[in-house]
Amino acid sequence: MGRDMCSVTKLLLRLKKPASVLLLIVILICQTAVNTPVLVYAEETKTEQEETKTETKAGQEQKQDEKDDKLSLESESAILMEATTGRVIYEKNPDEALRPASITKIMTLLLIFDALEEGKIKLEDEVTVSDYAASMGGSQVFLEEGEKQTVDTMIKCIAVASGNDASVAMAEHISGTESAFVDAMNERAAGLGMSSTHFVNCCGLDTDGHMSSAKDVALMGRELITKYPKIHDYSTIWMDTITHSTRRGESEFVLSNTNKLIKQYQWATGLKTGSTGLAKSCLCASASKDGIDLIAVIMAAPTSKQRFSEAISLLNYGYSVCDIYVDENMPQLERVQVKGGKNESIGCVYEKQFSYLFMDKVKSEDITSFVSINENIDAPIKKGDVVGKIVYKYKEEEIGSVNIIADEDNAKQTYTDSLLKTLKKMLFNSVI
């Protein structure tokens, strides 16, 4: 078109009659009008291509979203986590702060088991029920003021029957007051990275400011079942009885598990239910199948029945997509040389067993590992100090590692130690 414009310009300069000039201008306008749609059409074609690409991408994203949300949960919030690795498999509004109701008691149980491990309390210790503890409403096992029950029985009352009275009685037994115990709960929560959680009581009754999230519940649930697997001895009890011994005599009370998954789901191992008018129906469900431990958290389900059905959907989904690799035969470790130590070498061990959660089936032969010991390890060394690591790869991609730690102390060598070593060598050489 540029060449045509030049020709037209030259022609205009030659023309002298106005009519001729006018005629030529009209021709030029018509030609421009004819050519313009070509340009417009090209632009529209490009736009359509871009739109097609955008629509395709949107469609793919929609399909992915549909895939991720194929469970179609009606609960306000949910999460599915593998317990060993902490890997999240599914989530829906995981960080939304909601009322946790009685799944609060997971933290209460965690602190009880902490106290047991630290030797502060024993399972056979007797716990005296205060008037305040006995006055708790909501779910309870009807403890009376002055009644005594063992720690073992109290754990049963909390884990099986969700007893608010038993929770407060244990809080007072461990920390003196419920308030002091709640402070410890919040401190423990902070240590686990539970950023959306703030506890106001130890049992989960609706109170302003008493909040948690699905992710946070999963974190404390994971801590409880991995650090204290004995909790399953309690959380899997379907029915049991306790004996009330009061001034009026003795009477039996039946404990019935509030977690119906214990009967409904064959791989269920716990963990805790929760329900109030404001919190709606909540559940932290744990299950174990084929070496894979899963935690499914449901928050604010419309009905009690729905929390169980949605938890089952989550667990089934998890077991359909997960494949966990556990190194059952980690290579034997040799003694590690130490510079300047009282002993020339130390024994070492792995900090933990290596495991990795894959979201698909894998071949174990595609997983490799190598041991890497730190250079220039100098005394003093304390038991538990990191001296190296074992690194794992899947198809040349690093997937994780496990620390190698000292299995013994090794103090710094003194002048006397050095002198004794020299004398021993001299004596040994003279004997030879």
Contact 181, 171 (CB under 8 A): yes
Please identify which of the residues 92, 105, 272, 389 carries the catalytic annotation: 105
Is 196 marked active-site?
no
Please identify which of the residues 75, 77, 92, 102 carries the catalytic annotation: 102
Is 105 marked active-site?
yes
Contact 228, 241 (CB under 8 A): no
Tokens of 340: 């300047």
CA gap 349, 332 in Å, rounded: 9
Torsion angles phi and psi, residue 378, rounded to 5: -105, 145
Beta strand extents in 220-360 (DSSP E only) = 239-246, 249-256, 268-276, 280-289, 292-301, 323-326, 336-337, 345-346, 348-350, 355-358
* Of 218, 163, 145, 223, residue with least CA distance to 188: 223
* Of 269, 235, 245, 241, residue with least CA distance to 255: 241
Whole-number Cα distances in Å, 237 to 39, 162, 290, 297, 298 = 77, 12, 21, 20, 21
Beta strand extents in 312-395 (DSSP E only) = 323-326, 336-337, 345-346, 348-350, 355-358, 367-373, 386-394
Q: Which amino acid is at 257?
A: N
Tokens of 2: 């540029």
Torsion angles phi and psi, residue 29, rounded to 5: -60, -45
Is 286 marked active-site?
no
CA gap 408, 276 in Å, rounded: 52
Please identify which of the residues 75, 77, 130, 162 carries the catalytic annotation: 162
Q: Which residues contact 188 (CB under 8 A, 6 or more apart)?
A: 107, 110, 111, 114, 220
Torsion angles phi and psi, residue 72, rounded to 5: 50, 50
DSSP structural state of residue 331:
P
Return the active site residues. Answer: 102, 105, 162
